[in-house]
Amino acid sequence: MRFRYALPLAAALLVAACHPYVIKDKFLNRAVRIRRRSAVVNPFGANSAATHKQAGARCYGLQTRLAGIGWTREVFPWGKMEPELQKPDWSFTNGILEQTDALGVRLLPVIDQCATWARYDVLAECADKAVQMPNVYHWRNHVRMTVGRYKDKVEFWEIWNRPDDPAHFAGQHQDYVRLLKAAYGAARGADPNCVVLMGTVADAAWLDRALKLGAANYCDVICVALTAADTRPASAILTEREPPDTDTVGGNRKAERTVDISAKPYSEAQELMGIRDQLDRFKVVLENHEVKKPFWITSAAIRPAPAGLQARFLVKLYTTAMAYGANCVFCEDFVSRMNGGVAEGLLYPDLSRRPAAKAHALLSKLLAHVVSGRVIADDPGGLTHYEFKALDEIIQVAWSAGESAAPLPIGYKQVCDMDGEIRPLTVGEEKTGELIVGKEPIFITAEIIEQPAWDPYARELQ
């Protein structure tokens, strides 16, 4: 019986791998076709993974693969690429591509920062000249030259980093839309198959104003950042104590590691409510402007917390983002910077793994091939239950603020915990057909059962 479906599935996967990847843009009534190395791509990435100071270490590449990192988001600073007019220097960006290939990840470059000589107003008072509005003529030429040079290796291009933050862009909404429009035309002229991403924004109100000015007409993907709410006083200190981790690569670690976290005690429920609120606000803005485009979370802040709690929060943050329709999720920090004793990345500074790295690896294993998703239950004070459809199975993720019962899906196969360990059903769960879930997320896999065409819950991830 299973063999009968094996050949059609294999043929479908072969066809998917050979055909161009298509982004349907209903807003502009067109389709963007790009040829990719594979039709199935790991949607999880990290910021600045290829340019980290330890990226050349042998164990760093191994930890990247073990953690399931599929992308790295890197800034391409104009000032380094073209320090003088018409005198390009590609050494920095060439190095990023070489390191990206060595790590075996995909690259999302951010064309960012104004070259000193290319400022629109050279007399403007600004402490950081790199964040000033550039001359649009020179900017267009720079984007065309950059995309044309790397078009055989790079398919996705993000235009400017955090244009909603004055620390990154000193211009106004209309200034950024001008830059985006110029970059969109230049990038398409250099590579008709490229995909242009709008610069990552964290402020939904800023995005709303940019969309009113037509920003959606000049990009193929909307990028947002999820920022952790930090309203805590700087007095409280949490101490993290962990048993020795034998699954390390970057060297032996002390049996007890202390991490000071300045602020009030960590509240997972408050953090998740903040994440849902941000996602809701972005969703409302996109719906109000009838923007039917994919959106990526290119910077997800995983707030410092005791190691086990951080890993649990990472699973909940990522699955919530995907259930709300995000195509890709990039963590803000891969390696912890330990500024002031705070650990916020997936690895410790000595490149040994934190529990969050193992949770990230499990997510990349189970959810890498997700094509659609739906929300079964989303109660911050009770049960949260999401369902994702992959190429050949259904994956459900569930947890609860207290203790709740989640119905077993049709075609149920198995349940595993955050460590990837299979959890057998209890006698009571088998009889009732319901799982008892608590604060720790569990993963439920099931065979794909054909759904009726009118299924109101089926929602393709744009």
pLDDT tens digit sequence for 110-134: 999 999 999 988 777 777 889 999 9
Beta strands in 82-226 (DSSP E): 106-112, 156-159, 195-198, 222-226
Q: In angstroms, rounded to a whole number, what is the distance separating the alpha carbons of residues 164 and 299? A: 14
* Pair (317, 418) in one structural domain: no
Beta strands in 181-241 (DSSP E): 195-198, 222-226, 237-238
CA dihedral 319, 52, 346, 342 (to 10 degrees): -120
Q: What's the mean pLDDT in 196-210? A: 97
Residue 442 is part of a domain; what is its CATH number?
Answer: 2.60.40.1180
**CA 48, 303, 229, 322 torsion-angle sign:** positive
Judge whether residue 30 has pLDDT over 80.
no
In-domain check, residue 106: yes
* Pair (255, 116) in one structural domain: yes
**Token pair for 148:** 């044309």
Residues 226 and 317: beta-carbon distance below 8 Å: yes
- Range(s) of the domain holding residue 419: 374-446
Position 454 scores a pLDDT of 52
Least confident stretch, 75-89, 141-155, 250-264: 250-264
Beta strands in 286-355 (DSSP E): 295-300, 329-331
Full DSSP string of 31-82: EEEE--S-S----EEEETSSSSTTTTSHHHHHHHHHTT--EEEEEEEHHHH-
* Pair (415, 270) in one structural domain: no
Judge whether residue 250 has pLDDT over 90.
no
Position 91 scores a pLDDT of 97
* CB-facing half-sphere around the CA of 301: CA atoms within 13 A: 15
* Pair (255, 362) in one structural domain: yes
pLDDT greater at residue 91 or residue 36: 91
Position 269 scores a pLDDT of 87
Q: In angstroms, rounded to a whole number, what is the distance separating the alpha carbons of residues 294 and 221? A: 5
Q: What's the mean pLDDT in 15-26? A: 42
* Pair (235, 264) in one structural domain: yes
**Token pair for 40:** 């199935």
Judge whether residue 314 has pLDDT over 70.
yes
Judge whether residue 444 has pLDDT over 80.
yes
- Strand 372-378 and strand 442-446: pairing? unpaired
Residues 197 and 73: beta-carbon distance below 8 Å: no
* Pair (391, 344) in one structural domain: no
* Pair (163, 222) in one structural domain: yes
In-domain check, residue 318: yes
Share of the chain above pLDDT 70, in %: 79
In-domain check, residue 458: no
Position 453 scores a pLDDT of 57
Residues 207 and 224: beta-carbon distance below 8 Å: yes
Q: What's the mean pLDDT in 23-31? A: 43
Q: In angstroms, rounded to a whole number, what is the distance separating the alpha carbons of residues 227 and 162? A: 12
* Pair (396, 428) in one structural domain: yes
Last residue of some domain: 349, 368, 387?
368
Residue 268 is part of a domain; what is its CATH number?
Answer: 3.20.20.80
In-domain check, residue 337: yes
- Strand 222-226 and strand 195-198: pairing? unpaired
In-domain check, residue 460: no
Residues 83 and 335: beta-carbon distance below 8 Å: no
Judge whether residue 28 has pLDDT over 70.
no
Judge whether residue 15 has pLDDT over 60.
no
Per the prediction, the chain carries an average pLDDT of: 83
Q: In angstroms, rounded to a whole number, what is the distance separating the alpha carbons of residues 390 and 387? A: 10
Position 327 scores a pLDDT of 93
In-domain check, residue 92: yes
In-domain check, residue 426: yes
Q: In angstroms, rounded to a whole number, what is the distance separating the alpha carbons of residues 112 and 89? A: 15
Judge whether residue 241 has pLDDT over 70.
no
pLDDT greater at residue 368 or residue 178: 178
Last residue of some domain: 368, 384, 416?
368
* Pair (180, 148) in one structural domain: yes
Helix 173-190 vs helix 204-212: crossing angle, to nearest 10: 70
Position 451 scores a pLDDT of 58
- Strand 156-159 and strand 195-198: pairing? parallel
How far does Cα 362 stand from its chain's mean position?
15
In-domain check, residue 265: yes
* Pair (66, 88) in one structural domain: yes
Last residue of some domain: 368, 385, 405?
368
Q: How confident is the model at residue 341 (pLDDT cuts 50, 70, 90)?
A: low
Residues 251 and 331: beta-carbon distance below 8 Å: no
Q: In angstroms, rounded to a whole number, what is the distance separating the alpha carbons of residues 368 and 388? A: 11
What is the tally of structural domains in the chain?
Answer: 2
Position 259 scores a pLDDT of 41
Position 306 scores a pLDDT of 80
Least confident stretch, 26-30, 142-146, 183-187, 312-316: 26-30
Residue 386: how many other CB atoms lie within 10 Å: 22
Q: What's the mean pLDDT in 22-26? A: 45
- Tell me 139's DSSP state: H
Q: Is the pTM of this model over 0.85?
A: no
* Pair (302, 427) in one structural domain: no
Residues 128 and 114: beta-carbon distance below 8 Å: no
Least confident stretch, 168-172, 217-221, 248-252: 248-252
* Pair (80, 165) in one structural domain: yes
* Distances, alpha carbon 434 to alpha carbons 72, 91, 315, 445, 451, in Å: 39, 58, 22, 14, 21
Q: How confident is the model at residue 452 (pLDDT cuts 50, 70, 90)?
A: low
Which backbone phi and psi does 450 adopt, to 5 degrees? -60, 130
Which of 281, 291, 299, 298 has its CA nearest to residue 205? 281
**CA 161, 42, 69, 151 torsion-angle sign:** negative
Q: What's the mean pLDDT in 72-98? A: 97
